[in-house]
Amino acid sequence: MVRQFIPDAEKVREQLAEVEDRVADAARVAGRDPGDVRVLVATKYVSAEHLGALHEAGVRLIGENRAQDLVAKHELHGEAFDWHFIGHLQSRKTRLVLPLVSLIHSVGSLSVVGEIEKRAAQVTDVLLEVNIGGEASKSGVALTEVDRFLEAAAAYPKVRFTGLMCMPPLFDDAEDARPFFSRTRELAERLSTTWSGTYTFEQLSMGTSADYEVAVREGATIIRVGSVLF
Protein backbone atom coordinates (compact mmCIF):
# COMPACT_ATOMS: atom_id res chain seq x y z
CA MET A 1 0.00 0.00 0.00
CA VAL A 2 1.37 3.42 -0.99
CA ARG A 3 1.92 5.71 1.95
CA GLN A 4 -0.04 8.96 1.72
CA PHE A 5 0.83 12.22 3.45
CA ILE A 6 -2.05 14.21 4.91
CA PRO A 7 -0.63 17.72 4.99
CA ASP A 8 -1.41 20.16 7.78
CA ALA A 9 -1.57 23.65 6.27
CA GLU A 10 0.03 25.41 9.22
CA LYS A 11 2.88 22.92 9.48
CA VAL A 12 3.51 23.04 5.74
CA ARG A 13 3.57 26.85 5.87
CA GLU A 14 6.17 26.78 8.66
CA GLN A 15 8.30 24.13 6.97
CA LEU A 16 8.09 25.88 3.60
CA ALA A 17 9.32 29.11 5.20
CA GLU A 18 12.25 27.23 6.70
CA VAL A 19 13.10 25.64 3.36
CA GLU A 20 12.95 29.04 1.65
CA ASP A 21 15.24 30.51 4.32
CA ARG A 22 17.73 27.69 3.85
CA VAL A 23 17.56 28.09 0.09
CA ALA A 24 18.25 31.81 0.44
CA ASP A 25 21.22 31.17 2.73
CA ALA A 26 22.66 28.54 0.38
CA ALA A 27 22.23 30.84 -2.61
CA ARG A 28 23.98 33.72 -0.87
CA VAL A 29 26.87 31.44 0.12
CA ALA A 30 27.27 30.66 -3.58
CA GLY A 31 27.04 34.33 -4.55
CA ARG A 32 23.66 33.81 -6.17
CA ASP A 33 20.37 35.70 -6.02
CA PRO A 34 17.93 33.67 -3.86
CA GLY A 35 15.16 34.81 -6.20
CA ASP A 36 16.68 32.65 -8.94
CA VAL A 37 15.67 29.44 -7.13
CA ARG A 38 12.12 28.08 -7.18
CA VAL A 39 10.80 25.64 -4.60
CA LEU A 40 8.70 22.93 -6.21
CA VAL A 41 6.58 20.74 -3.92
CA ALA A 42 6.44 17.13 -5.05
CA THR A 43 2.93 15.77 -4.49
CA LYS A 44 3.37 12.09 -5.36
CA TYR A 45 2.19 11.05 -1.90
CA VAL A 46 -0.50 13.69 -1.42
CA SER A 47 -3.98 12.76 -2.62
CA ALA A 48 -6.12 15.08 -4.74
CA GLU A 49 -8.49 15.70 -1.84
CA HIS A 50 -5.68 17.05 0.34
CA LEU A 51 -4.02 19.40 -2.16
CA GLY A 52 -6.14 22.29 -0.92
CA ALA A 53 -4.11 22.35 2.29
CA LEU A 54 -0.97 23.02 0.25
CA HIS A 55 -2.59 25.99 -1.46
CA GLU A 56 -3.72 27.28 1.92
CA ALA A 57 -0.11 26.98 3.11
CA GLY A 58 1.14 29.18 0.29
CA VAL A 59 2.42 26.50 -2.09
CA ARG A 60 2.04 27.56 -5.72
CA LEU A 61 4.42 25.33 -7.71
CA ILE A 62 3.86 21.59 -7.54
CA GLY A 63 5.29 18.61 -9.38
CA GLU A 64 3.50 15.38 -10.13
CA ASN A 65 5.06 11.99 -10.91
CA ARG A 66 2.22 10.05 -12.52
CA ALA A 67 0.13 11.05 -15.50
CA GLN A 68 -3.14 9.67 -14.14
CA ASP A 69 -2.63 11.40 -10.78
CA LEU A 70 -1.84 14.65 -12.56
CA VAL A 71 -5.10 14.46 -14.49
CA ALA A 72 -7.15 13.73 -11.35
CA LYS A 73 -5.50 16.46 -9.29
CA HIS A 74 -5.59 19.04 -12.05
CA GLU A 75 -9.31 18.41 -12.47
CA LEU A 76 -9.92 19.49 -8.88
CA HIS A 77 -7.26 22.16 -8.43
CA GLY A 78 -6.24 23.24 -11.93
CA GLU A 79 -6.20 26.99 -11.33
CA ALA A 80 -4.65 26.85 -7.86
CA PHE A 81 -1.13 25.85 -8.88
CA ASP A 82 1.57 26.05 -11.50
CA TRP A 83 1.92 22.40 -12.53
CA HIS A 84 5.14 20.63 -13.54
CA PHE A 85 5.63 16.97 -14.43
CA ILE A 86 8.66 15.44 -12.72
CA GLY A 87 8.18 11.67 -13.00
CA HIS A 88 9.25 9.16 -15.62
CA LEU A 89 7.22 9.98 -18.71
CA GLN A 90 6.08 7.25 -21.08
CA SER A 91 5.45 8.32 -24.66
CA ARG A 92 1.87 7.00 -24.56
CA LYS A 93 1.09 9.20 -21.54
CA THR A 94 2.54 12.37 -23.07
CA ARG A 95 -0.84 13.36 -24.54
CA LEU A 96 -2.32 13.43 -21.02
CA VAL A 97 0.48 15.47 -19.46
CA LEU A 98 1.24 18.02 -22.15
CA PRO A 99 -1.85 20.28 -21.91
CA LEU A 100 -1.78 20.45 -18.10
CA VAL A 101 1.77 21.51 -17.24
CA SER A 102 4.02 24.50 -17.84
CA LEU A 103 7.19 22.39 -17.75
CA ILE A 104 8.14 18.73 -18.16
CA HIS A 105 11.33 17.96 -16.24
CA SER A 106 11.81 14.39 -17.35
CA VAL A 107 12.28 14.19 -21.11
CA GLY A 108 14.73 11.38 -21.67
CA SER A 109 13.61 9.49 -24.77
CA LEU A 110 13.18 10.37 -28.42
CA SER A 111 9.75 8.72 -28.41
CA VAL A 112 8.57 11.33 -25.89
CA VAL A 113 10.18 14.09 -27.97
CA GLY A 114 8.28 12.79 -30.99
CA GLU A 115 4.99 12.73 -29.09
CA ILE A 116 5.45 16.31 -27.90
CA GLU A 117 6.23 17.39 -31.45
CA LYS A 118 3.09 15.69 -32.72
CA ARG A 119 0.71 16.93 -30.04
CA ALA A 120 1.99 20.35 -28.94
CA ALA A 121 0.12 23.37 -30.26
CA GLN A 122 3.24 25.53 -29.99
CA VAL A 123 6.89 25.43 -29.01
CA THR A 124 7.12 23.64 -25.68
CA ASP A 125 9.82 24.13 -23.06
CA VAL A 126 11.18 20.96 -21.47
CA LEU A 127 14.14 19.79 -19.43
CA LEU A 128 16.46 17.00 -20.48
CA GLU A 129 16.68 14.30 -17.83
CA VAL A 130 20.26 13.13 -17.43
CA ASN A 131 21.20 9.90 -15.65
CA ILE A 132 24.06 11.66 -13.94
CA GLY A 133 25.04 8.68 -11.77
CA GLY A 134 24.85 6.08 -14.51
CA GLU A 135 22.43 4.02 -12.42
CA ALA A 136 20.56 1.21 -14.17
CA SER A 137 17.58 1.72 -11.87
CA LYS A 138 17.05 5.34 -12.99
CA SER A 139 15.79 6.81 -16.22
CA GLY A 140 17.42 9.60 -18.19
CA VAL A 141 19.97 9.97 -20.94
CA ALA A 142 23.47 8.67 -20.19
CA LEU A 143 26.18 11.32 -20.10
CA THR A 144 27.94 9.73 -23.07
CA GLU A 145 24.74 9.91 -25.12
CA VAL A 146 23.63 13.49 -24.40
CA ASP A 147 25.14 15.06 -27.52
CA ARG A 148 23.82 12.37 -29.84
CA PHE A 149 20.40 12.64 -28.20
CA LEU A 150 20.23 16.40 -28.71
CA GLU A 151 21.37 16.09 -32.32
CA ALA A 152 18.48 13.70 -32.98
CA ALA A 153 16.01 15.82 -30.98
CA ALA A 154 16.90 18.92 -32.99
CA ALA A 155 14.77 17.49 -35.81
CA TYR A 156 11.70 18.31 -33.70
CA PRO A 157 11.41 22.13 -33.66
CA LYS A 158 8.44 22.32 -31.28
CA VAL A 159 10.50 20.77 -28.47
CA ARG A 160 12.79 23.34 -26.85
CA PHE A 161 15.24 22.24 -24.17
CA THR A 162 15.77 24.94 -21.54
CA GLY A 163 17.73 23.01 -18.92
CA LEU A 164 18.59 19.75 -17.25
CA MET A 165 17.09 17.57 -14.54
CA CYS A 166 19.11 15.10 -12.50
CA MET A 167 18.74 12.82 -9.51
CA PRO A 168 22.07 11.67 -8.09
CA PRO A 169 22.53 8.46 -6.12
CA LEU A 170 21.06 8.53 -2.62
CA PHE A 171 23.61 9.19 0.12
CA ASP A 172 23.40 9.44 3.89
CA ASP A 173 25.55 12.58 3.70
CA ALA A 174 24.19 15.25 1.34
CA GLU A 175 27.72 16.47 0.64
CA ASP A 176 28.39 13.22 -1.23
CA ALA A 177 25.87 14.35 -3.85
CA ARG A 178 27.82 17.53 -4.58
CA PRO A 179 30.01 16.11 -7.40
CA PHE A 180 26.91 14.96 -9.27
CA PHE A 181 25.25 18.38 -9.00
CA SER A 182 28.49 20.03 -10.03
CA ARG A 183 28.81 17.71 -13.03
CA THR A 184 25.25 18.56 -14.08
CA ARG A 185 25.96 22.30 -13.88
CA GLU A 186 29.15 21.91 -15.89
CA LEU A 187 27.28 19.91 -18.52
CA ALA A 188 24.63 22.64 -18.74
CA GLU A 189 27.32 25.29 -19.21
CA ARG A 190 28.92 23.30 -22.03
CA LEU A 191 25.60 22.58 -23.74
CA SER A 192 24.58 26.25 -23.52
CA THR A 193 27.60 27.07 -25.65
CA THR A 194 27.30 24.13 -28.02
CA TRP A 195 23.60 24.68 -28.63
CA SER A 196 23.53 28.47 -28.46
CA GLY A 197 20.74 29.77 -30.68
CA THR A 198 18.80 26.50 -30.54
CA TYR A 199 18.49 25.57 -26.88
CA THR A 200 19.33 27.16 -23.57
CA PHE A 201 20.32 25.20 -20.48
CA GLU A 202 19.74 27.82 -17.82
CA GLN A 203 17.30 25.78 -15.72
CA LEU A 204 18.67 23.10 -13.40
CA SER A 205 16.11 20.93 -11.65
CA MET A 206 18.12 19.20 -8.96
CA GLY A 207 18.02 18.65 -5.23
CA THR A 208 15.35 17.02 -3.07
CA SER A 209 14.44 17.08 0.60
CA ALA A 210 17.66 15.22 1.38
CA ASP A 211 20.16 17.48 -0.36
CA TYR A 212 18.56 20.67 -1.70
CA GLU A 213 20.96 23.07 0.05
CA VAL A 214 23.95 21.45 -1.61
CA ALA A 215 22.12 21.52 -4.93
CA VAL A 216 21.45 25.25 -4.60
CA ARG A 217 25.09 25.93 -3.85
CA GLU A 218 25.92 24.05 -7.06
CA GLY A 219 23.50 26.00 -9.23
CA ALA A 220 20.00 24.51 -8.90
CA THR A 221 17.24 26.81 -10.14
CA ILE A 222 14.41 24.43 -9.15
CA ILE A 223 14.51 22.18 -6.11
CA ARG A 224 11.99 19.38 -5.63
CA VAL A 225 10.95 18.86 -2.02
CA GLY A 226 8.22 16.80 -0.41
CA SER A 227 8.76 14.88 2.81
CA VAL A 228 10.58 17.77 4.49
CA LEU A 229 7.29 19.70 4.40
CA PHE A 230 4.98 17.00 5.63
Euclidean distance between CA atoms 41 and 39, whole angstroms: 7
Q: What is the pLDDT of residue 147?
A: 97
The residues, any chain, with a CB within 8 Å of residue 122's CB and separated by 6 or more, are: 158
Q: What is the pLDDT of residue 2?
A: 56
Walk along the chain (230 residues) and give the pLDDT tens digit of each residue.
457 889 999 999 999 999 999 999 999 999 999 999 999 999 999 999 999 999 999 999 999 999 999 999 999 999 999 999 999 999 999 999 999 999 999 999 999 999 999 999 999 999 999 999 999 999 999 999 999 999 999 999 999 999 999 999 999 999 999 999 999 999 999 999 999 999 999 999 999 999 999 999 999 999 999 999 98
Residue pLDDT, tens place only, 183-203? 999 999 999 999 999 999 999
DSSP the chain: --------HHHHHHHHHHHHHHHHHHHHHTT--GGG-EEEEE-TTS-GGGHHHHHHTT--EEEES-HHHHHHHHHHHTTTSEEEE-S---GGGHHHHGGG-SEEEEE--HHHHHHHHHH-SS-EEEEEEEETT--TTS-SEEGGGHHHHHHHHTT-TTEEEEEEEE-PPP-SSGGGGHHHHHHHHHHHHHHHHHTTTT----EEE---TTTHHHHHHTT-SEEEE-GGG-
Residue 21: count of CB within 10 angstroms of its CB: 11
How far lies 150's CA from each of 34, 64, 157, 205, in Å?
A: 30, 25, 12, 18
Spell out the domains of the chain, with CATH numbers in brackets: 9-229 (3.20.20.10)
Residue pLDDT, tens place only, 123-147? 999 999 999 999 999 999 999 999 9
Q: What is the pLDDT of residue 1?
A: 47
